Each structure stands twice: as structure tokens, then as C-alpha cells.
Structure 1
């Protein structure tokens, strides 16, 4: 198996005090990152390989340390060589929330309640030292739909009016930055590990895949959790979890409107990303998620706050495509 391992892995582990460790590759995700479980004697850890120039592990290290300093359950960093792409981290095991729910569907309400509570705790912390989730970022992400999905569907969409509609829709949210928090940006059932509390009292929800954290609106990560691209979350559960969050959060009167705004923005982005993963990166398995994402997008578009964007979709995306929740990409 050694010929399948990245060059430099033995040297890094040796310098980190893990020389001679058994190395077990773990199936990858949608990025260029690779993961390995390593074990030596009675110690076990997770090794991330995020090689430049495609990846940069420095943001992961930065966010992980901030989260741990603020009593959130991010993995401890044991050793790192960011310039070469290596990070040795605490092993959170295999108990992902998604997998646990597949085996224990009766525990859905409890698991989502705990996940919402973890977000609520995060939102009591001052926003971290991260870049802002501003209009430029929102627009760039939303544009992925017209850049990748529409061409794949042979739709000649008006990209200029699309971005204008988003600017009008998101302007009220961007104009009120008082409720800014750390936004993990990919907080969902596949990125939550179910653990016991650690000795320092950090919570039982292990956080992973947070390297793209920004400072933005607290509704964003709720959308990520409750409008999950990879797992069905019923509208009833979504509503109950929103109510649970609002019962303990200092939310303003516009929170639900902003939840819909960010839901539509995120779902439009994801449709574009999944189309790009297929077209550019040769990963067609993500196409099967698009109908679920499109269905959530349609629900968000029904909110009055989305009127400009909803009008654009009515004009530019044929109804027969939308009625089939995005259609079959060809």
C-alpha cells in the first residue's frame, strides 16, 4: 500500500513522534483533501493531507484553535506542517450524526436538538477573527448557479439580472450587521461527530470541515443543518428546530426572513457546486442530491423576502424544469 500514500507521509509522522504508525486511508469527499487514520501502540489520530496549491490547511488550523479556545468541540491539533499540507489531529471516531440517524431514526429530534443547541452556544461567543460574509461573497456564491447549472441544463439565463435580484434581496440582511457570529458554513449531519463531552467541558458535537468559516448571520448555519443537501429533513422538523433555536437566541424580528434569504442563496450555490463537481471535477454522484436541494430552494423562494429572486427564476428557469426539482442534468 505504500505506493498509494502521499510522498512525505512517513517523514511527517516521524517528526511528529508517530513514526512507524499503521496508516489506514479513509474515503475522500468533494475536495482535494485526503484523510488517514493512524495508530501506534495505544494512540490513534487522524491525519489530514491538504496539499498546496489546491488546498491550504492553515485556515483549518486557525479556525480549530479558535473554536477550542471558545469551548467548542473542534479536534485538537497534535502536529502540523501547513506548507506541505500535513495536519495531525484528534480522532473523533466514526459516529457521524448522519450515520447514527440512519441506524437510529427514532433519535432524530434529540440529535437535531443537540446540534441546534451547539449552534446556539457558538452564537453566544464574540465573532471570531475571520473575514466577513459580505455581499461580494454572497453574490459570488449565488452566481455558481448561472455559471454551472444553467449551462448544464442548456438554459440561457440572464446572469446580470440574476445578481441584481440577489443584491436587492440580500440588501436588508447586509445592512444590519449587528448580529454577526462565526459561521462554519458547512454545518450539517455529515460534519457533526457524536462524542461525549471532553475534560475541558467542550460539547458532545464534534465539529469538522469548518476551514471556510466567516463572520456572518446566525441563520446561515441553521439553514445548512435544517436544509441539508445530503439528508431529508422534514419541514415539520425544520420548523420545530427553528422554534427551539429562537426560544434561546437573541434573534430580531427579521430572523425568519433572513433564514429564507440565506436558505435560497445557499441552495442556489449548492446546485451550482454540484453541477460543477460533475462537469469540471468528474464527480457525478453529487447530481443525485440536486432534487433535494432544489425542493428546499423552491420553499425558500415562496417567502415574500425572496420576491426579486423568485421573479427571476420565474422568467429564466422553465417551469417544467422546476416542477421536476431541477430536472435531469444532461
Structure 2
């Protein structure tokens, strides 16, 4: 249990003992960009996963509520065996090691995995009870708070000086104009981090029942385009053009031509929004949290953002960014 305070380690030990797993072997997993951490518990042939979600930084209740809801919709999520909500601990099912990322790195067929991920989204987005959960909307306030990370963190790191109030206002106004329609969209449960790191195969590769979901506790109600663009415009890996088009085509089956065109526009809007957010977050992780490992993905993020910004609906946003940080896509960190 390295990497945590002595007090937190004592709380963990107490929780495990209370759940009857005090004698288990504990193997911490590599931490991600959040404050949550996980450890694999092994006791003979039995396995569990310990989730450590410090209450000061993480919302365990949100995870539990969204988990229960997704399970009720027939989607594959980890079972929950024990919870200490006040202290931020949960004992959940160990669904194994077969994340899509690991499978892809091992040579698994890219197209089949991505199409399975699209099928999971389609099941979620077409379920008549998908929105029967009390969650905040992915509204203008949330969308703008995220793109603000770009001017607060990325721009200063890129050019060596903070943005002026006038620059920031022009940037935020441009985004508000571009996102006006989509900020009112409430047609999907948005999982928000839907990409290959957070998808896994549990059991044999088959239908959507075999696709395990991870990291969805920050879900909101918003646009169905968000998780689709998160999947196919991944900050952490290149997705081939063939797979990208196959995924959008698969998702678009049954949609009218008008809705297909709207989907692609919304993917550009939310793709640009997400990439701007991620660029800011990766700089913040490096400078504030001493996690520079994510900077290796920055060229991809900026390339994806620049591509999305080519859409005419984002011309004002593009112009403000080009004025603040001309040539930003070539930045090296």
C-alpha cells in the first residue's frame, strides 16, 4: 500500500479487516489521473478489487448510483460486495486484466473491439430508461468550465505568459456561441471517459454483455455525440481512419440523413471542446500534480483539436486560439 499516507493506510487496513479480507495479499494497481486508486486483493483462489476513493476528492456515492443504474440497463459493470461510504472505500468485483488497451497492444483486432464499444453505446443510448437517473446536465456551465482549462493552463505553458482578461473573454465568448445549441441537448447518459482504457472484455468476446465498463462516476446528461467522439478521437492512442469511419457508420445505422449530419457536427463541436479540456488537464497534471507522463500524448491531442476546429461552426473559437497561441499544434513540452 505504497503511495498513501500512514493514516489512510490504517483506514484501509481497518476496512479490509471489517470486510473479512484482512488476511488478503494486496497488490496496488498503477494509479491514473484521478485521486482514486485501486488494489487487487487475493486470498487463495478468491479475488476482489479494493477501490480507494478519498471523500475529500472523490464521490463514491455517484459511482455506486451510476453502477446500479447501468447494471439495471443490462450493461456489464463490476459487482459491489462491500462499501464504507463515509471513508471512501468499496470492495468490488475483479473483472480481470483484459482492457481494450491491453488487448490492442497484444495484437487483437482493432475493428472488432471498437465496433463492440459502439454497440454498447447504442444499447445505452436507445434504452428507454437510460435517462432515469438524477444527474446534473452537461450544460453550458459545465462545458465552459472545462474549456477554461485550456486558457488557464495550456496557453501560459505554451507561450510563457498568462492570457489577458480581454483574450480570455473573447475565447470564452466564442465557445459560448459555438456550444449554444448543444449545451441544451439532453438525449443521452454521458459516461464522459469512454475510451479503450476504460473498456474491457470479461469472459469470451461476444455481445455487449462481455464488455465491462470502468470510470463512469462523473456521468452527466447531455449529447450522445460526446462518448462516441471520446472513443474514436482518443487522446492516448491513434485510431485508424478506417476504424473511425466504421464506428461512425455503425452508430449512424437507423438515423436519418439529417441526424447523421447533425451527429458529425456535434462530434466536431464536442471533440474540440474535449481536446481543449484535455490539453489543459495534461499541463495541469504535469505542473500541479507532478504527473508529466501524460505530456507524451499532447501532440495527438493538439492534432485532433486542430482538425475539429476546422469546422465552420468553430471558426470564432479557432480565431481566438490562433491569436493567443499561433502554431500551438507544434508546441513541445
Shift of 1:228: 0.4
Q: CA separation of 1:131/1:197 partners in 2, compared to 1, >3 Å: closer, same or farther?
A: farther
TM-score using structure 2 length: 0.90
Deviations 1:94-118 (A, max 9, x none): 111011001115x001110001100
**2-side partners of 1:80 and 1:252: how far apart?**
43
Kindly state the Cα deviation for residue 249 of structure 1 after the two structures are TM-superposed. Answer: 5.4
Deviation at 1:257, TM superposition (A): 0.7
Partner of 1:48: 51
| Residue of structure 2 equivalent to 1:121 | 123
Is 1:135 aligned to 2:135, yes or no? no
Structure 1 runs, 4 residues or longer, greater than 4 Å off: 1-5, 248-253
Find the residue that maps to 2:253 and give its secondary structure: helix
Match of 1:194 among 171, 180, 201: 201
CA RMSD of aligned residues (A): 2.1
Task: Give secondary structure in 2 for the equivalent of 1:98.
Answer: helix
Question: Gaps (5+ residues) in structure 2?
Answer: none
Q: Deviations over 1:5-51 (max 9, x none)?
A: 82122321232233322211111111221211112233211101111
Deviates more, 1:31-40 or 1:225-234: 31-40
| Among 209, 212, 218, the residue aligned to 1:203 | 209
The answer for unaligned runs of 5 or more in structure 1 is: none
Q: Which residue of 2 aligns with 1:168?
A: 177
Per the alignment, residue 150 of structure 2 pairs with 145
CA deviation vs aligned residue, 1:295-321 (integer Å, no higher than 9, x gap): 1111101112212212222222213x3
Give how far 1:63 is off: 1.0
Tell me the secondary structure at the aligned position of residue 171 of structure 1. coil
Q: Is the 8 A contact 1:155 1:317 kept in 2?
A: no
Pairing partner for 1:102 from 97, 102, 105: 105
Corresponding residue of 1:264: 272
In 2, distance between residues paired with 1:23 and 1:186?
A: 27
**1:10 alignment partner, SS class:** helix
Task: Please give the secondary structure, in 2, of the residue aligned with 1:7.
Answer: helix
Correspondences of 1:222-261 after superposition (within 5 Å): 222-248=228-254, 251=259, 253-261=261-269
Residue of structure 2 equivalent to 1:277: 285
Pick one of 85, 89, 93 that aligns with 1:90. Answer: 93
Question: C-alpha distance in 1, partners of 2:29/2:271?
Answer: 31
1:115-140 deviation digits (Å, cap 9, x = unpaired): 11001111112313211000000000
**Offset of residue 252 of structure 1:** 5.8
Shift of 1:181: 0.9
Tell me how far apart the structure 2 counterparts of residues 294 and 129 of structure 1 sit (CA, whole Å): 34
Q: CA deviation at 1:3?
A: 10
Distance of aligned partners of 1:202 and 1:71 in 2 relative to their CA distance in 1, 3 Å threshold: farther
Contact 1:197–1:204 (8 Å) recurs in 2? yes
2:57 and 2:182 map into 1 onto residues whose CA distance is: 32
Q: Distance in 2 between matches of 1:239 and 1:3?
A: 42
Contact map agreement 1:260 1:301 (CA 8 A) in 2:
yes
State the 1:84 CA deviation: 0.5
Q: Is the 8 A contact 1:30 1:277 kept in 2?
A: yes
Q: Is the 8 A contact 1:120 1:249 kept in 2?
A: no
